[in-house]
Amino acid sequence: MPGARAVHLLPGFDEFVLGYTDRSLVLAPEHFDLIVPGGNGVFKKTVVAGGKVIGTWALQGTGPGAVVVPQLFDEARQQGPAAQAALSRAARRYKTFLAT
C-alpha cells in the first residue's frame, strides 16, 4: 500500500464498489473475481487504500478479542510502516464501531 494516506474497511455491499457500472477506476479488473467469487453477486468486504480497492477483509472471532484479517491482492508486496499503521487504525475504528 505504498503512498496510501487513508485506509478504509468497507462492508461487502458498499456503494464505493457497487455504485458504478465501470469499476476500473477503483478496482483493477483482474481483481473483480476476488471480491465477487464465482460471480454470484455476493460482494466480499473490501480494503480501500488511496482510493483503490487493494484487498478484502474478514472479522475473525467475536467480542473484544475479534481480529480484522485483511487479504491483500498483492501479498508478496511488503507494506511500509505507514501503510501498516493506516490499516491498524482502520481495524481499530471498525472494532470501536462494533463496541458501540
**Where in the chain are the domains?**
7-99
State the chain's mean pLDDT as an integer: 87
Strand order in the sheet with 52-60: 7-10, 46-49, 52-60, 67-72
The model's pLDDT over 29-71, given as tens digits with 9 standing for 90+, comes to: 999 999 988 888 889 999 998 889 999 999 999 888 899 999 9
**Per-residue cell: 12:** 461487502
Q: What pTM did the predictor assign?
A: 0.86
So what's the pLDDT on residue 1? 46
First vs last C-alpha separation in the chain: 29
Q: Which residue has the cell 508486496?
A: 77
- The C-alpha angle 16, 22, 25, rounded to 5 degrees, equals 65
Band (82; pLDDT cuts 50, 70, 90): confident
Residue-by-residue DSSP string for 15-83: HHHHT-S--TTTS-GGGHHHHSGGGSS-PPPEEEETTEEEEEEEEESSGGG-EEEEEETTTTSPPPHHH
**Per-residue cell: 10:** 468497507
